[in-house]
Structure 1
Amino acid sequence: MKIGIDFGTSYSSAAAFCNGRIEHILFNGQPQFRTSVFFPDRAVDISGFELTFSHEQEISDGIRAAKSSYAKRVTKYNEDVAAIEARIRAAARNNNPMTKEEKAERRTMIAKPFLSSDQDLRESAINAIKRRWLSDEIVKAKEADIRLDAAIFGEEAIDALFIYESGRLVQSPKSMLGFRLGQAQRGYITGIVTRILKHIREQACLQLGQVVRYATLGRPVKFRSSIGPDGGAQAIAILTEAALAAGFEAIDFLHEPSAAAVAYHTSSVTAHHALIVDIGGGTTDIALAEVGTGDTQPNILNTWGEPKGGTDVDLGLSLRSVMPLFGKGVCPELLAPVFMDAVSVSDLNRQKTFRGLSFPHTPLPYAYRLAQLQKPGIPVRLNRDVEKLKIELSETAQSERSLDYIEQNLVVQATDSHLALAAESFMRTFQALLAQVASEIQNYNPTLFLTGGMSRAPYVIEAVKQAFPHCDIAPSEASLGVVDGLSVYASLTRDARAPEHA
């Protein structure tokens, strides 16, 4: 059996094309999982944990306390808003009325309080209770080494660090594959990727009821790299080694935009040209393809790519809206590289540098907050909150997230202006790539097919429309377009040594 695997920077997925339809491999009931993995120091069976009546009472009390605190903050917010409105009216009475811009600036100085949903509050409370329970269990454990077989994946991997309190959390290992790696680092990263691919293969075998021996893996046109073209070759070598160690007998690779073209091709009933725009977490890839021809596969005419994606926007938003809470722009002794190291959660070397820093001359509260950020897993959790801010700010003018795992009552507030500034670097690269493609395909009038998590962002969609104003946009599945095509391609290139029942 051969499957398609979209091993992504932010999320990963897998699918098989069986009996004329695509079957997505499910991970905790979902067709994809966050590309994060946690390895606890000690293997403790968390299935032995049960919520008791006293636990439920504790959770209810906590939710009530959170709502009470929120009510007080709302009261204070309303008082502050009333005070500002009073100042505006007073200025008008004194014949010194504020301009429209001044009024708007005064009003935006105060962010509306944020209250997590009951479900989020409950999950946070359960994690705290589990952490206490596990602290007792871990004392009993005799195994002290990192256990690859005890790995936890996805969103649960990030939460697990705060339950187990010890272990290793890795996010977005794909973004590390093309960077300069020492021998030990390369072995470590290969082991991480191996465990993720093994997890995918095990789930596929279980769900499909067959032994999965072969796979087609998606790959970007250009990997993120610090060593030029050699980074791409290194990434392919690591992925190949990891896949074989994970139990696959053979694998092949397909450019991710070409895979999305395969998916679009299967649903096209008339021959036409399509421009596939795949904007993921780590890379942006484009392919021009002839689809709907009646052939088993589309005809890929050209591909383009840049090693930038949604994680670059996350990094920019973190620097602009979050790092000021840690002293950026406030403490002159803290230079820009400190904050870049802190937010670069996918760069092992930068994270190691940041963890090794001390801040003896940094005043409170910034020294304390930076020390908290140096704790294992905290940068990843902060990055997840920044990603949520990014998504929310694509739909609303302002948003906020609680950072109480850094400091009690610490809240980050951000606006759509922060997001626009955070996305500037990525958008310059993206718009330049679109302009290059547009100039090279002037003789075509393709249908646009957008896929990848960032293809949902309104500013991304608008940029594509501006670059190709006369082209129609086809409906697409942002999250699964690539893996759908990989599964179809895998079925068409199934190794002759692997019979259907294998």
Structure 2
Amino acid sequence: MICGFDYGTSNCALGLSQGADVRLIPLEGQHTFLPSTLYALDRDLITEFVGKNIAVGDTRQAFVSSRQNVLARAQRARREEDIDDNDQTLFFGRAAFEEYFQWPEDGYFVKSPKSFLGATGLRAEHINFFEDLVAAMMQNIKQRAENQLGVEVTHTVIGRPVNFQGIDSETSNRQALDILTAAGKRAGFKEIEFLYEPIAAGLDFETKLTEDKTVLVVDIGGGTTDCAMVRMGPDYVGKEDRYADFLGHTGERVGGNDLDIRIAGKHLMPLFGMDALLKNGLPMPTQMYWNAITTNDVSAIATFNGMETKRQIDQLRLDAAEPKLVDRFLRMRAEKHNYHIVRNAEEAKIALSDTLNHKVLMDYIEAGLSQDISRDGLAKSIEPPLEKMLKLMMDAIEQAGEQPDLIYMTGGSAKSPVIRDAIQKRIGDVPVLDGDHFGSVAAGLTVWAERIFR
């Protein structure tokens, strides 16, 4: 069976064709999208999970041979933690969040591993680990789909951003695609192709057009923003070669996660001492606070978790005019609540799409701890990443050499009225239409998969 697979930074979705229509498969209850999260009782158990779920054959043997040391550590972890062979060791999606919120100190939690793909300076063991993370998530999603369908899914088109990182893009893109390909093969896909995510979103939208248009497709994902200027409509929809119809495309590593981090930094981290003063009247250093919440940067999180940061915070507590705020920061770090804080920021962003004010409750840190955020306050805090997104849109229009007839928005953050207002002010009086913010990419990937594999 053929599918379109949106392995997203924030959420994953899988689509199948049913006649002329596309059906997104429920992956978690009735939800057709699964948050891109994983919680493991021990980090090495991720690799063990992958090995156990690879079909018996040369692929499994090669994998086991390449991961012998990690698999030995996984067995040791099982003995030390008294984990039975029948115990569940990995949790995905909303269940991963639940386990992390309940046991933040005990296991290994990761959100949005796609954000790390293509990062520079990764050693071989890092690349192996990211292959295993992605493979475990793909295996889980593929198994969920197959359990519902009762048939094997063998061919897929996977979405990709224009650029995974934006630094040394050709090299980083190749590395990221190699990781996704290796993971997809270990998940059991026999044939894998890739398609730009904004183009996929546009293909889904094109099937609904009744006349030809030049469309600016804007896909604001969790990790990247991708834009494409595309001629589309009834005269184009059946064409096999669409190269000449894509007039311009841009993409950069700035997305919904960056908005969440800015919201967390500007509105929530002051509760932990950010922007407070030292006894000598100087401001508190802020880099350690940004490191805590920059959850899409491996080096920032590693620095925050390092002993040097612990020593720095201990010293700043002695120097702080309000040491109780630094005590709160120390407790947050010790109990590994930084991902929870960024999740709070994401929830605030979502809530402020429908309301003008939102109260963030942080009882997991301290009883009664909360913070109010307004839509105007959110707009001010996200100005730097939003400006980058707007520039990507304008660059795509400039490449095309013409104005769009309409703008088609997809991706979770595209729902924000703050972002939509900013687009209208920058681009002008061009109609802005919405797609399925979580499913349009998967649907377009499915349309393309049917076209190339049939």
For the aligned pair, the TM-score class normalised by the smaller chain equals 0.7 to 0.9
In structure 2, the residue matched to 1:36 is: 37
1:171 equivalenced with 2:111 (yes/no): yes
In structure 2, the residue matched to 1:67 is: none
**Structure 2 counterpart SS, 1:365:** helix
- Letter paired with 1:21: D
Among 371, 381, 402, which residue is 1:422 paired with? 381
Shift in Å at residue 330 of structure 1? 1.3
Among 339, 346, 366, which residue is 1:387 paired with? 346
* Distance in 2 separating the partners of 1:442 and 1:146: 60
Whether the 8 Å contact between 2:349 and 2:416 is mirrored in structure 1 is no
TM-score by length of 1: 0.74
In structure 2, the residue matched to 1:412 is: 371
Among 156, 161, 171, which residue is 2:100 paired with? 161
In structure 2, the residue matched to 1:238 is: 179
Shift in Å at residue 212 of structure 1? 0.7
1:431 equivalenced with 2:390 (yes/no): yes
In structure 2, the residue matched to 1:120 is: none
Where do residues 239-388 of structure 1 align in structure 2 (5 Å cutoff)? 239-292=180-233, 293=235, 295-297=237-239, 299-332=245-278, 334-356=284-306, 357-358=309-310, 359-361=313-315, 362=317, 364-375=323-334, 377-388=336-347
**Structure 2 counterpart SS, 1:374:** helix
Unaligned runs of 5+ in 2: 46-77
**Structure 1 counterpart SS, 2:153:** coil
* Distance in 1 separating the partners of 2:79 and 2:272: 34
Structure 1 residues 445, 405: closer, same or farther in 2, change over 3 A? closer
CA-to-aligned-CA distance 1:215-260 (integer Å, 9 cap, x gap): 1110111112555432111111111111111111121100001101
CA-to-aligned-CA distance 1:404-447 (integer Å, 9 cap, x gap): 11122211232334312221101221222233233344445422
* Distance in 2 separating the partners of 1:212 and 1:164: 34
Structure 1 residues 146, 218: closer, same or farther in 2, change over 3 A? farther
* Distance in 2 separating the partners of 1:440 and 1:294: 20
Structure 1 residues 326, 474: closer, same or farther in 2, change over 3 A? closer
Q: What RMSD, in angstroms, separates the aligned Cα atoms of the two structures?
A: 2.6
* Distance in 2 separating the partners of 1:265 and 1:399: 36
**Structure 2 counterpart SS, 1:493:** helix
- Letter paired with 2:83: E
Whether the 8 Å contact between 1:173 and 1:189 is mirrored in structure 2 is yes
Whether the 8 Å contact between 1:179 and 1:227 is mirrored in structure 2 is no
* Distance in 1 separating the partners of 2:82 and 2:238: 56
Shift in Å at residue 263 of structure 1? 0.4
Whether the 8 Å contact between 1:273 and 1:290 is mirrored in structure 2 is yes
Whether the 8 Å contact between 1:36 and 1:157 is mirrored in structure 2 is yes
**Structure 1 counterpart SS, 2:314:** coil
In structure 1, the residue matched to 2:48 is: none
Of stretches 421-430 and 474-483 in structure 1, the one that deviates more from structure 2 is: 474-483
Structure 1 residues 406, 219: closer, same or farther in 2, change over 3 A? same
In structure 2, the residue matched to 1:2 is: 2
**Structure 2 counterpart SS, 1:212:** coil
Whether the 8 Å contact between 1:169 and 1:376 is mirrored in structure 2 is no
Structure 1 residues 144, 207: closer, same or farther in 2, change over 3 A? closer
Structure 1 residues 440, 411: closer, same or farther in 2, change over 3 A? same
Shift in Å at residue 341 of structure 1? 0.8
* Distance in 2 separating the partners of 1:489 and 1:376: 45
In structure 2, the residue matched to 1:22 is: 22
CA-to-aligned-CA distance 1:351-397 (integer Å, 9 cap, x gap): 12112222323154233322232246521111111111122234434
Structure 1 residues 140, 347: closer, same or farther in 2, change over 3 A? closer
* Distance in 1 separating the partners of 2:97 and 2:360: 17
CA-to-aligned-CA distance 1:25-63 (integer Å, 9 cap, x gap): 1122201011111112499xxxxxxxxxxxxxxxxxxxx
Whether the 8 Å contact between 1:219 and 1:253 is mirrored in structure 2 is yes
* Distance in 1 separating the partners of 2:225 and 2:101: 33
Shift in Å at residue 5 of structure 1? 1.0
Structure 1 residues 208, 296: closer, same or farther in 2, change over 3 A? farther
Structure 1 residues 164, 326: closer, same or farther in 2, change over 3 A? closer
**Structure 2 counterpart SS, 1:222:** coil
